[in-house]
Amino acid sequence: DRVWALLIDLPAWPAIMPFIRDVRLESGVAVDAWFSFRLFGFPIRAQVAVVQPNRELTWTGRSLWFSAVDRHVVEPLPEGGTRLTIAESFAGLFAVPLMSRARLKAQHEQWLRTFKQAVEQG
């Protein structure tokens, strides 16, 4: 429950990850809801595509010359605890030079580490 609550608290993201700023949610977190934020200074306009409470949050986003799909999956573990995974795809002009596979993986790993710390700290 804590993982999900923090995941859908979009305005709290900058406190978790400093390279995310200026999060603006136009309504509650629901399918077709719009939000915007800055990622490493790049403006992103996004729309929620999937909301399965305590299970999945997926959105599509556009920034400058490319578009992306971000999928966060929350999975309860049999021994207790929770696993949060991220899958992302993107395409467009300069997408590959701006975000290599290694850079994207490192960014996701950093997000997951700091997200885990935020959840554990309450």
The per-residue pLDDT for range 15-44, each reduced to its tens digit, is 998 889 999 999 999 999 999 999 888 899
Q: CA 104, 106, 112: angle at the middle one, nearest 5?
A: 100
Short-list 66, 13, 73, CA closest to 24: 13
- pLDDT at residue 9 greater than cutoff 70: yes
- pLDDT (mean) for 73-87: 95
Task: Classify strands 20-25 and 42-52 as parallel, antiparallel or unpaired.
Answer: unpaired
- pLDDT at residue 59 greater than cutoff 80: yes
User: What are the DSSP E strand ranges found in 13-96?
Assistant: 20-25, 34-39, 42-52, 56-63, 66-76, 82-92
- pLDDT at residue 63 greater than cutoff 90: no
